[in-house]
Structure formats: C-alpha cells, structure tokens
C-alpha cells in the first residue's frame, strides 16, 4: 500500500531541507586553496610533530644549496623526504640510494605543491652504527684515492732534533710523551701545538696545527694523537680534513690515537702508526744510552781499523827497506848505465845491417829499372819517332801523311822533321831535272 507524505507549501519544504543538511554545508564556509592547505599542514603537524620512520632510500639527490631530497619506501608506499642543509651537515655518513634508514622528524606539507613530506632531523642506518658506516665509507674512498699507499710514506728520522706534538695540552697523551722522551733522551726539544681532540671543531684544529708545523718547518717529525676512548671520542681522527692534512704534510707524521686495539683513518694515512702515544715517543726518541753505546762501539771499530791499516803500512815499508835497491842504490844505477851501453851497441849493429839490406835491394831494383828504361835502348843506335801534334809514337809509316811534323828522339838530342812523300820519277831526263829543281 503506497504511503503519501504531505510536505506543505514551498517555504515549509525549504525549511525542512535545511534541517536535514550536514553541519558544514549549513555553515557554507568556503576555503581558498592556500587556506585549506594551511589547515591540512597544521593538522598534520599537530598530529605528527615527532615520529620515527623506517624505509629504503630511493631517488636521493643532494642539491647545490646543501639540502637533500629523497624518498623512503617500503613494499606498499613511498614517502617524500627533505633534509635541510643544517641537519645534513650533522650526519656523519653519506646517504645513498638503496640504503635502509631509520629517521626521526616531523610530517608537514609543502604549500606550493600541496604535498605532504617528512622533514628528517636525524638519520641512522639500520643494522650498523652511523659512525661505523661513516668510517667504512671514508676508508674505502681514501683507499681508492691512494692515500694509504706505502709509496707515499716518508721515513721517520732516527734522531730528530725537535718533535712536534698535536694533542690536548691537558690530556694523558702529552704527559706520556713528555715522560718517555724525558727519560730516554732528556735533551730532545719538544714543541706542543695544543688542540681539541674531540667534539665539534676538533678536526679543524688538528688540521690547522699540522699546517702550522709545515709552514714554520721548525720540527723534524710530528706526533698526532690522544689517549683512548670510545668511537665517538676518537671521531675527530676519522674525519676527512685530518686525513688529507696528514697526507699532504711534508714533515713525517706518526699517528698515536687511543689504545693498541683502536684504529682510525689517521692511522692508515700517517707515515707510521704507533699503538699508543707512549709507543710513539719510544719510536721517535731512542734511548740516549743506546746511542752512546753505539757511538762507542763504532769509535772502537774505527780505531781498530786504523791500527790495522797502520800495521799493514809499517809491514810494507819494512819490506821495501829490505830490498836490494834501497841497500845499494848506486850499484843499480851503474848496472842500468851498462845496460844502456849494450842496448846502444846492439841498436847500431841492427841499424847497420838494416841499411845494408835496404841498399842491396835498392841497387838491384835500380839495375832492373835501368834495363827497362827506353833511353838505354837508344844508346845502342835506336830512336823513337812521334808526331809533334799529339806526341803519339809512330809504329807504322802509314800513320803519317804528307807535311806532318814529326820528332825523332835519339840517344843524344832530337830531330824535328817534315814528312815529304816520294813522288813518281819521270823517265824524261830533262823533265826529271826540272822537277828536281822545282821548289
């Protein structure tokens, strides 16, 4: 059966709807985007003013301003995060994508985007301490750069004139060093450059002290260290500025931080690592008595060597004095005179024989040359005829022609002739006479 509702007139109907609307819509409050964003930000900040959040780092970015932006994620969600510069500077390790962090901070909204974010104020790696992680990260970084290589280690002087100490003026380390050096080598000069060895600013002071010694160049070796303590207490010696100052030092540096079981970055970079400050003092300052004993032993060895050389020289001199030449020197000179005479006589004989041999050979060769000389043939009535023009010897009468000028060489003198070929003789006597008279 249908039911009917009598709602009356329009005015009554409007009043009825108002009574049934939600409270917010009845008030009809209208927000701007900025206003509603601020309301949400205030609500979130009041609800989550201090929370711990755990997650995996992704999309990590360190801006040039020093602020860091990243996301923390798990299997179901992603949370945008911000680390401002002043907070980032207090974090001892380097944050990397993929690292699992436990972070403390507050939830708020970035108004410009209307995006809620987690503002991190503290961060530590999950499963390992933040300082230990920072230690391992810096150690791996500097090792890859070669700061630990033995090729860069400088030798420690055996007996330094002055020792530089970089440590606290009130700590146990300086007392231990002074005690050991004073006992082993009282005359050794020690210069202390006082610094903080823990807490804020300690690393900067240690770096500056090393730089001062290198600028002044007033020490032969530097001991950098302090007494024992926790990892936090020794942390100044694990900071990068101290490590690079040690590496760049032109003066050899001994690292003496903590106890024997403590290792710092400074130990790996230094030219020599000592387990304790006292051990460093023993390494750099040998016992005075040991040096004196060594000097005495070397002096005795030198004396013995000189005595041995003297004895050897004396023996050689005695042997020389016993030689015949030094006993009868004039006899030796006379014998040499006689020997010179013998050699002179022998030389003359050999030279005479040599000259006679050469003279005989010369006479023999002269005879042969004379026999082969063409002028010898001329002496027997022969002659040599040649053309004057080209001085070519004539061997055949056909080689000359009418009116050629020829020269005939005799045993004594020469004859210059002009060739006239024989003409046909006429049988007529009168004609023959005319031809004879014709010039």
List pLDDT tens digits, range 386-438. Answer: 888 888 888 888 888 888 888 888 878 888 888 887 655 455 666 556 655 55
CATH (domain of 86):
2.40.50.140
Residue 328 within any structural domain of the chain:
yes
Task: State the pTM of this model.
Answer: 0.49
Whether residue 250 is contained in a domain is answered as yes
Report strand pairing: 78-83 vs 115-125: parallel
What is the residue whose two structure tokens read 């387990």?
275
pLDDT at 338 over 70: yes
- What are 194-243's pLDDT values in tens digits? 999 998 899 999 999 999 999 999 999 999 999 888 878 888 999 999 99
Mean pLDDT of 331-358: 86
Distance of CA 182 to the CA centre of its chain: 40
Burial zone of 208 (CB within 10 Å; 0-12 exposed, 13-18 middle, 19+ buried): middle
Q: Are 83 and 67 in contact (CB under 8 A)?
A: yes
Same domain, 93 and 169: no
For the chain, the residue count is 439
Q: What Cα–Cα distance (Å) separates residue 388 from each residue in 87, 88, 381, 395, 407?
A: 125, 121, 22, 14, 6
- Residues 6 or more apart in contact with residue 174 via CB below 8 angstroms: 165, 167, 168, 192, 277
pLDDT confidence of residue 265: 92
- Residue 412 domain-assigned (yes or no): yes
Domain encompassing residue 343: 323-372
Whether residue 114 sits in one domain with residue 48:
yes
Cα 92 from chain centre:
34
pLDDT recorded at residue 436:
56
Q: In this structure, is the dihedral angle defined by the CA atoms of residues 136, 141, 147 and 149, taken in order, positive or negative?
A: positive
Are 271 and 170 within one domain? yes
49 DSSP β-pair partners: none
The answer to whether residues 64 and 121 belong to one domain is yes
Query: What are the helix (H) ranges across 270-328?
Result: 277-284, 288-321, 324-327
The CATH number that applies at residue 214 is: 3.40.50.10550
How far, in whole angstroms, is CA 42 from its chain's centroid?
62
Shared-domain flag, residues 107 and 235: no
Which pLDDT does position 214 carry in this prediction?
95
In a domain, 114, yes or no: yes
Is 106 in the same domain as 139?
Answer: no
Residue 3 belongs to some domain of the structure: no
Judge if 95 and 237 occupy the same domain. no
Q: Look at residue 174 and tell me if it is in a domain.
A: yes
Structure tokens at 386: 């040649």
Q: Please compute the mean of the pLDDT values over residues 340-359 and round it to a whole number.
A: 89
The answer on 405 and 421 residing in a single domain is yes
pLDDT of residue 419: 84
Of residues 190 and 368, the one with the higher pLDDT is 190
In a domain, 356, yes or no: yes
Instruction: Give the C-alpha distances (Å, rounded to integers) separating 249 from 139, 245, 264, 424.
Output: 19, 6, 18, 127
Q: Kindly state whether residue 341 falls inside one of the protein's structural domains.
A: yes
More confident residue, 129 or 189: 189
Do 88 and 213 sit in the same domain of this protein?
A: no
Give, for 432, the enclosing helix (H) or strand (E). Answer: helix 429-437
> Is 397 found in the same domain as 328?
no
Considering the domain architecture, whether residues 167 and 248 belong to the same structural domain is answered as yes
Nearest to 120 by CA among 57, 162, 163: 57
Same domain, 141 and 226: yes
CB 27 within 8 A of CB 101: no
Q: Starting at the edge strand that comes first in sequence, how are the strands of the sheet with 162-167 ordered?
A: 189-194, 162-167, 221-226, 253-257, 272-273
Number of domains in the chain: 4
């Amino acid at each position: 059966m249908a039911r009917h509702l009598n709602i009356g007139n329009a005015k009554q109907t409007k009043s009825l709807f108002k009574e049934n609307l939600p409270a917010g819509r009845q008030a009809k409050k209208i927000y701007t985007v900025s206003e509603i964003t601020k309301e949400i930000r205030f609500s979130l900040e009041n609800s989550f003013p201090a929370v711990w959040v755990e997650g995996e780092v992704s999309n990590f970015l360190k801006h040039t301003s020093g602020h860091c932006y990243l996301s923390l994620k798990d299997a179901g969600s992603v949370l945008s995060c911000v680390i401002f510069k002043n907070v980032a500077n207090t974090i001892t390790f380097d944050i990397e994508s993929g690292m699992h962090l436990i972070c403390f901070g507050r939830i708020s909204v970035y108004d410009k985007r209307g995006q809620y974010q987690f503002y991190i104020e503290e961060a530590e790696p999950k499963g390992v301490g933040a300082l230990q992680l920072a230690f391992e990260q810096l150690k791996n970084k500097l090792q890859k750069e070669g700061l630990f290589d033995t090729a860069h280690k400088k030798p420690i002087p055996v007996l330094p004139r002055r020792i530089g100490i970089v440590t606290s003026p009130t700590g146990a380390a300086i007392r231990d060093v002074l005690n050991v050096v004073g006992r082993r080598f009282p005359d050794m000069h020690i210069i202390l450059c006082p610094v903080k060895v823990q807490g804020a600013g300690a690393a900067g002071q240690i770096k500056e002290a090393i730089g001062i010694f290198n600028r002044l160049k007033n020490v032969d070796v530097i001991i950098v260290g302090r007494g024992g303590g926790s990892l936090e207490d020794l942390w100044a010696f694990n900071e990068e500025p101290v490590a690079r100052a040690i590496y760049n030092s032109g003066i050899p540096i001994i690292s003496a931080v903590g106890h024997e079981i403590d290792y710092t970055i400074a130990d790996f970079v230094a030219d020599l690592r000592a387990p304790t400050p006292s051990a460093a003092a023993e390494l750099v300052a040998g016992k005075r008595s040991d040096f004196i004993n060594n000097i005495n032993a070397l002096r005795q060895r030198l004396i013995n060597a000189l005595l041995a050389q003297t004895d050897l020289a004396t023996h050689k001199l005695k042997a020389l004095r016993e030689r015949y030449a030094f006993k009868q020197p004039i006899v030796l000179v006379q014998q040499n005179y006689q020997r010179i005479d013998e050699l002179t006589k022998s030389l003359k004989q050999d030279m005479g024989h040599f000259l006679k041999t050469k003279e005989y050979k010369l006479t023999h060769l002269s005879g042969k040359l004379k026999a082969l000389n063409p002028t010898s043939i001329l002496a027997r009535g022969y002659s040599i005829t040649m053309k004057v023009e080209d001085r070519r010897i004539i061997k055949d009468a056909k080689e000359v022609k009418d009116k050629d000028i020829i020269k005939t060489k005799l045993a004594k003198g020469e004859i210059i002739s002009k060739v006239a070929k024989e003409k046909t003789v006429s049988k007529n006597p009168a004609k023959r006479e005319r031809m004879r008279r014709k010039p």
